[in-house]
Amino acid sequence: MKNFKFPLSIYLLSHMKRIESTDNPYNILVDKDLVSYYEFIFRFYQELGKVKGTPKKISTLTTLLMIFQDLTQKQLQALTGYSLTSISNTLNVLQNVNFVEKIRIPGTHTFQYHMPPQIENAIKQSIIRTHHLLKDTITYFRQVHGELTSPQLNQLQGASYIQTQLKVNIKHFEFVNHVLENFLGTLNNQDITEMGNLEKQYADVFKPKNFPEKYIFRDLDAIIAGIEKQIISHLQKSIFQPKKGTSKALLMPYFITREFLTQKDLKKISKLSVGQISGGLKELTQKNLCGFSTNLLSNPKSNRPIKVYYIKSLPYSLIYRLRQIFDKIFEFKPSFLKMQKELKQKKSEWNDKNGFNKILKYFTEFVSIITKYEEFNNYIQEIEQFI
């Protein structure tokens, strides 16, 4: 069977008998008049998954679980066309991060998989995950910084430079985490930290980037170079996880440890291909995350300027992803409002249709939380003007 493709209505209706014959005690299909609304919710989550960098299979399974809930592996196979092995592996990943709950159907050996249906929870969990990754990275950076200050390592070439880079970026990560905590607080109707207080608390974060007169590539002792590789590996497995088909996330960690780099030196320490580097730098530059200077001299013995790249603002690059999520949500807002109005007008006529109350709840919930997101998005835009 081919992998799941739109339209959802055709797929669901053509597989009705197969799905109804599975071991789910509930009827998971919806009335044909409501299918277009469920299609819309499915598309919303799929588009949101792309922005968040969620792998397609994970995005598809979580979307179906959020829409229908309490599905077995066989039902997910019927809806997607994925193999049972692939579905089982993906569900195990989701269970390990507590996104999905596995529940045995009473009196059987069959399990259903459950995921909270709230739109707010789906977005909130993504932010919480980023928040935890940042906290773990801050802890890791402090640990490595402490190791580099030890007598055994402190005197090695490059140790003090990497210490400085870690110290600066710890403060930047703490700032972003503070912003994320503010977002989570707004969902619970808590007050946001005023911009003036943020500037005072994180004054170093808001300072303009300081450019050296000359560009110097720093060679590191073999032990320090090994530690740098460990730092980069940690970042690529956490807050800068590369997406399929993109190389910008591969490059970001190198600017954490080095700050300024030429393409040549970036290739030297990363071992990435010229294509990956040029493509990644182009993407970072287009998104205004990366800048370059042609005013720095190449070395103390030369007066020839070279092109040196740098990340404009680490906090901005991390908050940028959050902004992308909000932009995608706001893109869908007009349709949510229009379709919610339609459902309310049809309530007396459609109230007994299978799936009506569930889909009306989805649209009502989205409209109720959008004000919170808009308030916080304005806050993010204010921050971006300073970083």
Q: Do residues 107 and 203 share a domain? A: no
Q: Do residues 100 and 149 share a domain? A: no
Q: Is residue 294 part of a domain?
A: yes
Q: Is residue 1 part of a domain?
A: no
State both tokens at 146.
Answer: 């402490």
Q: Lowest mean pLDDT of 10-19, 174-183, 225-234, name the range.
A: 10-19
Q: Do residues 67 and 133 share a domain? A: no
Pairwise CA distance, residues 315 & 171, whole Å:
10
Q: Which residues of 305-344 are buried (b: 16+ CB within 10 A; e: fewer)?
A: ebebbbbebbbbbbbeebebbbebbeebeeebeebbeebe
Pairwise CA distance, residues 227 & 225, whole Å:
5
Q: Is residue 238 part of a domain?
A: yes
Strongest mean pLDDT among 11-15, 208-212, 249-253, 298-302:
249-253
Please tell me the number of Cα atoms within 13 Å of 373 on its side-chain side. 23
pLDDT in tens, 38-92: 888 888 888 888 887 778 888 888 888 887 778 899 988 888 889 999 999 999 9
Q: Is residue 2 part of a domain?
A: no
Counting beta carbons within 10 angstroms of the beta carbon of residue 267, is it exposed (0 to 12), middle (13 to 18) or buried (19 or more)? Answer: middle
Q: Is residue 3 part of a domain?
A: no
Q: Count up the domains in the chain and report the number.
A: 3
Q: Is residue 199 part of a domain?
A: yes
Question: Residue 302's pLDDT is what?
Answer: 62
Residue ranges making up the domain that contains 373:
326-384
Boundary-marking domain end, from 299, 317, 335: 317
**Contact indicator for 290, 312 with CB cutoff of 8 Å:** yes
Q: Is residue 245 part of a domain?
A: yes
% of residues, the chain, pLDDT over 90: 29
Give, in order, the Cα–Cα distances in Å from 50 to each of 174, 325, 356, 378: 27, 10, 28, 23
Q: Do residues 183 and 258 share a domain? A: yes
Q: Do residues 155 and 297 share a domain? A: yes
Q: Do residues 331 and 302 share a domain? A: no
Boundary-marking domain end, from 261, 293, 317: 317
Boundary-marking domain end, from 292, 317, 342: 317
* E strands, 237-298, in order: 260-261, 290-297
Q: Do residues 26 and 105 share a domain? A: yes
Q: What's the pLDDT band for 4 if we cut at 50, 70, 90?
A: very low
Q: Is residue 182 part of a domain?
A: yes
**Contact indicator for 249, 240 with CB cutoff of 8 Å:** yes
Backbone angles phi, psi at 102, to 5 degrees: -100, 125
Q: Do residues 194 and 289 share a domain? A: yes
Q: Do residues 249 and 286 share a domain? A: yes
pTM (whole model) above 0.85: no
Q: Do residues 380 and 276 share a domain? A: no
Q: What's the pLDDT band for 18 if we cut at 50, 70, 90?
A: very low
Q: Do residues 73 and 153 share a domain? A: no
Q: Do residues 108 and 127 share a domain? A: no
State both tokens at 256.
Answer: 């954490």
Cis peptide before 7 (omega within 30 of 0): yes
